[in-house]
Chains A and B, each alone.
Chain A
């Protein structure tokens, strides 16, 4: 199975698009290495604007640059962009509706061994409350490349979250996606797993494990956290017996709460469990932390089985 990181798929596609579109700019914060923008810098040096370790200035200046008709991709570690530059994202990007794409890489627990200064448990929650901002989290390199191409032509502000490591490929090359629709990876009416970002891969595997036990589990890849595809989410809540949400984020304010919001607003409170991470995690590599906090295929399957047995018993 192909293993490519989302950030590499992003920068490869961005460079390819930028060669044909002079309005595309990349902005970095001494992060061209971590984002993998070195090739962009070599090939299109005039359109890679380096602001150094200064996220606030980088985001606000990107908004100013966008105001002159450019489509600006500001990339850097999510832990810094989504926290240090929060007011600039709120005001200069969101409120002002500027054509800026904030690309937060190495998010979640990608930097687990580096400690909580470098983890990003809050970005979905923080960004969801800002005006005019799409929030996106692609799940593999194929989806990331597709999404990058879409964003190169999409007017308006977005926050895009990616991890650091190589991820298993979920989709076939040329898979069809719709920006406004969650991707249904598996059909099924016994239960549903709603996941985003790099948690889609273990969600898919969990569904495969459960299929071996005779359960048909629907898997929704909600790569767009805002706006959320409420139609698909509500269908999952209505048509299945239990729903588990999975995200590499605090269970406060992220995808799980967005799904719960849809459930409550529509009076459809199916048995549901929000899987994610605490706001402060212990130190460890991401795989170790996923295992510790149950964010694995086995952990998701076990949670879903527990929920189903509860739902059958009541």
Chain B
């Protein structure tokens, strides 16, 4: 019997809150915005058993927005790829769990954190898998602020050139980055048209609607890579943080921590 995605996602959000609050580190806003996507990937789409066995035909996931590592770690513990106790070492001395994923963590394909690399890495994987693992699919999650990196667009045109229909690029479109609104920092308007012009099959979805996310992640278009613009809310789950740029990497104080915890628990208690 499959688990309830909302329950999973909000339990994982609570784990993120604990990591960030206890260790005074992390990027909580983006971790909350991408959580429903991550939960869908690991609990609905990818075969985690194959990842555990590191099977050559496993699906691949690349967290291009590596700064949301705590969301990633909390999901990896949820599916049993990482021991829950290890979350206690987040950003501590000599840990594997840095604020950006290291390559030493079970289930992690590549270390990420320097923005603008993930789509290239994922497209290289997709080229390699097309040659000998036709059933494996590659998913990469990028931020929207990250799209100002030119290398992302280099990667997109090459993914289209090589007809990488085993690649899905997911954009966590929360519209906020460290300095403020993405449209003020570097406008991405007409993003869907831009992605389509670069050769993607582009779809825009509600990045907090589990049915929409799952359907979009299952979408395959012959000869074309898929780009999903997942419209999300930075800091999703608590009115303390939602849609406030400062929560890109703000650490909650005790009062904020307790309020965020209550907000997340309230969602869990909803029918």
Q: Is the CB of B56 within 8 A of A69?
A: yes
A62 within 8 A of B: yes
A266 within 8 A of B: no
Q: Is the CB of B127 within 8 A of A60?
A: no
Mostly helix, strand, loop or mixed at chain A's interface?
helix
A57 within 8 A of B: yes
Q: Mark B127-169, 1 if CB is under 8 A from A, else 0.
A: 1110111000000000000000011001101100010000000
Which residue in A46, A51, A65, A91 is a CB contact (below 8 Å) of B114?
A91
Q: Is the CB of B111 within 8 A of A62?
A: no
A282 vs chain B, min Cβ distance (A)? 33
Q: Is the CB of A60 within 8 A of B117?
A: yes
Q: Which residues of B contact A60 (CB under 8 A)?
A: 117, 120-121, 124, 151, 155
A102 vs chain B, min Cβ distance (A)? 14
Mostly helix, strand, loop or mixed at chain B's interface?
helix
A45 vs chain B, min Cβ distance (A)? 12
Which residue in B56, B60, B110, B132 is a CB contact (below 8 Å) of A96?
B110
Q: Which residues of B contact A49 (CB under 8 A)?
A: 127, 162
Q: Mark A47-75, 1 if CB is under 8 A from B, else 0.
A: 00101101011011111111111100000
B109 within 8 A of A: yes
Q: Mark A297-312, 1 if CB is under 8 A from B, else 0.
A: 0000000000000000
Q: Is the CB of B125 within 8 A of A65?
A: yes
A247 within 8 A of B: no
Which residue in B125, B150, B157 is a CB contact (below 8 Å) of A67?
B125
Q: A51 and B154 in contact (CB under 8 A), knowing A60-B120, A61-B120?
A: yes
How many pairs of A and B residues are in contact by the CB < 8 Å rule? 98
B170 vs chain A, min Cβ distance (A)? 16
Q: Is the CB of B121 within 8 A of A64?
A: yes
Which residue in B103, B122, B131 is a CB contact (below 8 Å) of A97?
B103
Most chain A beta carbons < 10 A, residue from B60, B117, B157, B162: B117
CB interface residues, A 230-287, toward B, < 8 Å? none
Q: Is the CB of B129 within 8 A of A68?
A: yes
Distance of A96 Cα from B133 Cα, bound (Å)? 22
Q: Which residues of B contact A92 (CB under 8 A)?
A: 110, 117, 120-121
Closest chain B residue, CB of each to CB of A52: B158
Q: Is the CB of B121 within 8 A of A63?
A: yes
Distance of A91 Cα from B103 Cα, bound (Å)? 11
Most chain B beta carbons < 10 A, residue from A68, A91, A95, A97: A68
Q: Is the CB of A68 within 8 A of B117?
A: no
A208 within 8 A of B: no
Most chain A beta carbons < 10 A, residue from B150, B155, B157: B155
A11 within 8 A of B: no
A17 vs chain B, min Cβ distance (A)? 17
Distance of A300 Cα from B199 Cα, bound (Å)? 56
B91 within 8 A of A: no
B46 vs chain A, min Cβ distance (A)? 16
B123 within 8 A of A: yes
Q: Which residues of A contact B110 (CB under 8 A)?
A: 63-64, 67, 92, 96, 98
Closest chain A residue, CB of each to CB of B120: A60
A87 within 8 A of B: yes
Distance of A287 Cα from B103 Cα, bound (Å)? 45
B198 vs chain A, min Cβ distance (A)? 12
Closest chain A residue, CB of each to CB of B128: A68
Which residue in A56, A65, A68, A91 is a CB contact (below 8 Å) of B133?
A68
The list of the 4 closest CB pairs from A to B, nearest first, reads A64-B124, A68-B128, A60-B120, A61-B124
Residues of chain A at the chain B interface (Cβ within 8 Å): 46, 49, 51-52, 54, 56-57, 59-70, 87-88, 91-92, 95-98
A–B pairs, 15, beta carbons within 8 Å:
A46-B131, A49-B127, A54-B151, A54-B154, A56-B151, A60-B117, A63-B120, A64-B127, A67-B121, A87-B117, A91-B111, A91-B114, A92-B120, A95-B103, A96-B111
Residues of chain B at the chain A interface (Cβ within 8 Å): 56, 60, 62, 103, 109-114, 116-117, 120-129, 131-133, 150-151, 154-155, 157-158, 162
